[in-house]
């Protein structure tokens, strides 16, 4: 239990104020950590040199992936959905409430800096005990037995006691306990703000991924329906040739088989489209089917091509890593853990509190408020910890271990960030190269079908050659459509890995 002394000497109060002016905060100071790039990290990324060289020799970039805005994807419908998800997503609302809680906790910690003032008032009906401690005073006065009994009866008569006043106290933060607590609360608020931004980035990236998967499915649906129409037209031609005796009945049968195969793909694609729409409406906190009409109508405006290919020159890797909210949150948590070591260390030292009080006390209401009924006190008090069975020392050890844990978590977060950036860039680069090859494959397949159809029409080959060419072109078109969707999703992964929706100012609102 701490030992408390009440000091009324003016010299002690003066010395306390002098210590207040020159006081220091015990414990370690936080030094901002620098998420340095891994050794050998190039201006592009740390992945396969072969993939890096192939990507740089590919088609030039057509867009720039600027930070702080999802408009780099140049899709008005996506921009509208992003605004809706920020306004209504339940996970983001939860993150915003947690940030608000951290700000309130910071205000609570900061309130310790100022004086605490309390007012009190009371009116009580009281009676003294006839055999209580007051009888010892009567005995000491040497009163006679008759006078003693009369005094006791008089003192034990019920009476009314009126009291009113206020008390004020202020702890002098000599060792920085309050300052460290406020510092930790500030760091917690910064971590909460960064985690809110991380939640926004995650939800927006998930929305963009589902949106581009929806667009990819709708693109495959348009291709499948166009292929069905072309196959039906080809069937009419083949059937006419069979009816004219130019070919056998086998050719129309084979064309009908192809047509049935194409029609069988439609239900599966429709299910994928509905599932993607449901995932989008769930992200924006809306019931199923809310945006189906708008999402279906917007599909007609899509050109069906790959998104603008951005220039992914990374610049300074450390700057990019610092833009990631998860790294900012990990660093803020390390800062808070460091400050709490100082709070625990400050508890080893004495506390000096300045106190004052003023009020009125009166037996009976007739004199309550008279100047003679006033009472007051003023002076410092000292609380000195002497023995607590090692509790304070154990708390310091615990805070230091928590600080080391936070430091390891920060290093792990930085390492994970570099791996995510590298993997996202590798995936995007590989898909971009594959997409370019699939475009060429479709062009070649289309030329092959044109040639096969001409040879079949002139009787130079059987229908099987043209049918194989049709299947090859259909598969090439499907693969290219799927690659276009994967290219967009890969680009979303790059944007998320580079914290593309977050600006440095958002991570440091006070800068």
Domain-embedded: residue 414: yes
CA 287 to chain centre: 25
Q: Give me the pLDDT at residue 53, please.
A: 52
258-272, 316-330, 383-397, 399-413 — which is least confidently predicted? 316-330
Domain-embedded: residue 61: no
Give the other-Cβ count within 10 Å of 493's Cβ: 21
Q: What percent of the chain has pLDDT over 70?
A: 80
Phi-psi region of 177 (alpha: psi -120 to 50; beta: other; left: phi over 0): alpha
List the domain range (segments joined by +) for residue 276. 72-112+177-303+313-352+390-507
Q: Give me the pLDDT at residue 31, please.
A: 87
CA distance 423 to 420: 5
Residue with more model confidence, 239 or 119: 119
Split at pLDDT 50, 70, 90, the class of 316 is: very low
Domain-embedded: residue 297: yes
Domain-embedded: residue 139: no
Domain-embedded: residue 358: no
Split at pLDDT 50, 70, 90, the class of 148 is: confident
Is the per-residue pLDDT at 12 higher than 50? no
Contact call for residues 386 and 3 (beta carbons, < 8 A): yes
Contact call for residues 19 and 174 (beta carbons, < 8 A): yes
Q: Give me the pLDDT at residue 236, please.
A: 81
Beta pairing partners, 376: 358
Give phi and psi for 354, each to the nearest 5. -90, 130
Domain-embedded: residue 375: no
- Cβ-based neighbours of 152, under 8 Å, separated by 6 or more: 130, 135, 138
Q: What percent of the chain has pLDDT over 90?
A: 32
31-35, 86-90, 375-379, 449-453 — which is least confidently predicted? 31-35
176-185, 269-278, 310-319, 405-414 — which is least confidently predicted? 310-319
Domain-embedded: residue 341: yes
CA 223 to chain centre: 39
Beta pairing partners, 159: 126
CA distance 436 to 503: 32
Going from the C-alpha of 392 to that of each of 28, 179, 346, the distances in angstroms are 17, 19, 10
Residue whose entry in the numeric block shows the structure tokens 């020392």: 393
Positions of E strands within 342-497: 351-363, 374-384
Q: What's the longest Cα–Cα distance across the chain?
A: 149
Over residues 229-253, the mean pLDDT reads 79
Q: Give me the pLDDT at residue 63, please.
A: 47
Tell me the three state secondary structure of residue 258: helix
**CATH code at position 229:** 1.20.1600.10
87-101, 109-123, 320-334 — which is least confidently predicted? 320-334
Split at pLDDT 50, 70, 90, the class of 461 is: confident
Going from the C-alpha of 209 to that of each of 140, 201, 213, 495, the distances in angstroms are 92, 12, 6, 11
203: closest CA among 98, 87, 302, 293?
A: 87
Domain-embedded: residue 412: yes
201-205, 243-247, 292-296 — which is least confidently predicted? 243-247
DSSP code of 113? G
Over residues 206-234, the mean pLDDT reads 89
Model confidence over 299-309: pLDDT tens digits? 655 544 455 55
How many folded domains does the chain comprise? 1
Tell me the three state secondary structure of residue 103: helix
Going from the C-alpha of 105 to that of each of 132, 193, 247, the distances in angstroms are 48, 13, 84
Q: Per the structure block, which two tokens stand in for 3? A: 């030992």
Q: Give me the pLDDT at residue 332, please.
A: 94
CA atoms within 13 A on the CB side of 110: 11
Model confidence over 117-129: pLDDT tens digits? 999 999 998 888 8
Contact call for residues 345 and 27 (beta carbons, < 8 A): yes
Mean pLDDT of the chain: 81
4-13, 412-421, 489-498 — which is least confidently predicted? 4-13
Is the per-residue pLDDT at 398 higher than 90? yes
Of 149-153, 245-249, 337-341, which has the strongest mean pLDDT? 337-341
């Amino acid at each position: 239990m701490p030992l408390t002394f009440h000091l009324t000497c003016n010299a002690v109060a003066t010395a306390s104020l002098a210590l207040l002016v020159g006081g220091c905060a015990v414990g370690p100071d936080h030094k901002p950590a620098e998420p340095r790039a891994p050794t050998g990290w190039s201006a592009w990324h740390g992945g396969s040199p072969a993939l890096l060289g192939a990507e740089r020799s590919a088609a030039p970039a057509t867009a720039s992936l600027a930070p702080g805005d999802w408009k780099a994807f140049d899709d008005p419908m996506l921009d509208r959905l992003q605004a809706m998800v920020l306004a209504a997503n339940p996970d983001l609302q939860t993150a915003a409430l947690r940030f608000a809680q951290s700000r309130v906790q910071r205000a609570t910690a900061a309130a310790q800096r100022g004086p605490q003032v309390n007012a009190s008032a009371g009116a009580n009906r009281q009676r003294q005990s006839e055999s209580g401690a007051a009888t010892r005073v009567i005995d000491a006065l040497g009163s006679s037995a008759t006078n003693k009994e009369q005094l006791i009866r008089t003192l034990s008569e019920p009476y009314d006691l009126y009291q009113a006043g206020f008390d004020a106290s202020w702890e002098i933060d000599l060792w920085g306990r309050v300052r460290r607590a406020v510092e930790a609360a500030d760091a917690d608020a910064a971590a909460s703000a960064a985690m809110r931004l991380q939640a926004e980035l995650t939800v927006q990236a998930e929305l963009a991924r589902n949106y581009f998967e929806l667009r990819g499915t709708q693109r495959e649906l348009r291709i499948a329906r166009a292929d069905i129409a072309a196959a039906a037209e080809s069937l009419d031609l083949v059937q006419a040739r069979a009816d004219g005796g130019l070919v056998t009945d086998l050719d129309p049968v084979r064309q009908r088989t192809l047509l049935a195969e194409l029609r069988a793909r439609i239900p599966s694609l429709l299910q994928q489209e509905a599932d993607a729409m449901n995932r989008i409406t769930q992200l924006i906190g809306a019931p199923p089917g809310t945006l189906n009409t708008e999402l279906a109508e917007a599909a007609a405006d899509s050109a069906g091509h790959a998104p603008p290919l951005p220039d992914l020159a990374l610049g300074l890797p450390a700057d990019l890593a610092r833009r990631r909210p998860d790294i900012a949150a990990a660093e803020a948590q390390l800062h808070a853990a460091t400050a709490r070591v100082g709070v625990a260390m400050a508890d080893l030292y004495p506390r000096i509190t300045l106190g004052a009080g003023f009020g009125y006390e009166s037996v009976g209401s007739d004199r309550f408020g008279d100047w003679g009924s006033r009472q007051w006190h003023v002076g410092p008090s000292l609380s000195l910890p002497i023995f607590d069975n090692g509790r304070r020392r154990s708390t310091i050890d615990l805070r230091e271990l928590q600080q080391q844990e936070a430091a390891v978590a920060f290093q792990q977060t930085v390492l994970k960030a570099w791996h995510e950036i590298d993997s996202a860039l590798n995936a995007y680069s590989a898909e971009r190269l594959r997409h370019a090859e699939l475009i060429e494959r479709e062009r070649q397949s289309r030329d092959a079908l044109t040639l096969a159809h001409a040879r079949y029409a002139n009787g130079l080959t059987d229908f099987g050659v043209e049918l194989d060419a049709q299947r090859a072109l259909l598969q090439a078109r499907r693969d290219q459509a799927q690659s276009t969707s994967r290219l967009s999703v890969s680009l979303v992964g790059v944007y998320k890995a580079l914290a593309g929706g977050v600006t440095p100012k958002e991570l440091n609102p006070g800068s």
